[in-house]
Amino acid sequence: MTSTAVIQLFVFVLAGFVGFQAITRVPPLLHTPLMAATNAISGISLVASIVLAGANQSLLSTVLGTIAVGCAMANVVGGFLITDRMLAMFDKAKATKQGERASAKVH
């Protein structure tokens, strides 16, 4: 095993531990936003896709990279938007006690 791989393993295990700690504290109330949020964040594979799409290695790599950029970008944009939309509802539900605005907005 190379030293890089060992460092990577360190990062993985510690990040998993932090993730476990943080996520067990998320109440069931917010589990759906949590899933949408991790979905959005996992769009970080965009950074790997960008390098592949822009490296101009071969036609195959460029095509695969471009599709990957599209997929990851869709997750980033869609994921953050829908998470924000949901969390805004939890804000709003608190703010407008009677929820008049909410009922006016939805059909």
Identify residues 3-32 at the interface with other proteins (CB under 8 A): 4-5, 8, 11-13, 15-16, 18-20, 22-32
CB 79 within 8 A of CB 41: yes
Closest distance of CB 52 from other proteins, Å: 5
Closest distance of CB 10 from other proteins, Å: 10
3-state SS, one letter per residue, for 8-50:
HHHHHHHHHHHHHHHHHCCCHHHHHHHHHHHHHHHHHHHHHHH
| Stretch 86-105 residues interacting with other proteins (CB under 8 A) | 86-94, 96-103
- End-to-end CA separation in angstroms for the chain: 59
| Stretch 48-77 residues interacting with other proteins (CB under 8 A) | 48-58, 60-62, 64-77
Please count the residues of this chain forming the interface with other proteins, following the rule CB under 8 A: 93
